[in-house]
Amino acid sequence: MKRTTISLPDDLAQALGREARRRHASASEVTRAALQEHLGMAPGRPRSLPFAAVGRSGQHSTARDMEQLLEREWDEHDPGGR
């Protein structure tokens, strides 16, 4: 797991603290859950595909070039190579 530091406005930090206490969880757990939900990566839910509309590109070579298009999309949306 990678550690990340963020700065929050006071009111948001207080709301995060309240939510963590309400859930009996750490602020990190609440933040991870919120980010997963926001990014469409919540456990148990299908992940949205950022390239799902690629078929409406107006290009006639989409099917032929699908492997390259997918590789490019995945690299752009997941540069760390999860």
- For 34-80, the pLDDT digits (tens) are 998 888 887 777 766 666 665 566 667 767 777 887 888 887 766 66
- Are 64 and 79 in the same domain? yes
- Within a 10 A sphere around the Cβ of 66, how many other Cβ atoms? 13
For residues 55 and 43, state if they share a domain: no
> Domain total for the chain?
2
Give residue 41's domain range.
Answer: 8-47
In a domain? residue 1:
no
- Report yes or no on 3 lying in a domain: no
- Statement to judge: residues 24 and 55 lie in one domain: no
Q: Is residue 36 part of a domain?
A: yes
The 10 Å CB-count burial string (b at 16+, else e) for 33-59 is eeeeeeeeeeeeeeeeeeeeeeeeeee
Asked if 40 and 60 sit in the same domain, the reply is: no
Domain membership flag for residue 2: no
Residues 31 and 19 in one domain: yes
What is the pLDDT at residue 37? Answer: 87
Task: Give per-residue pLDDT as tens, 1-45.
Answer: 899 999 999 999 999 999 999 999 999 999 999 998 888 887 777
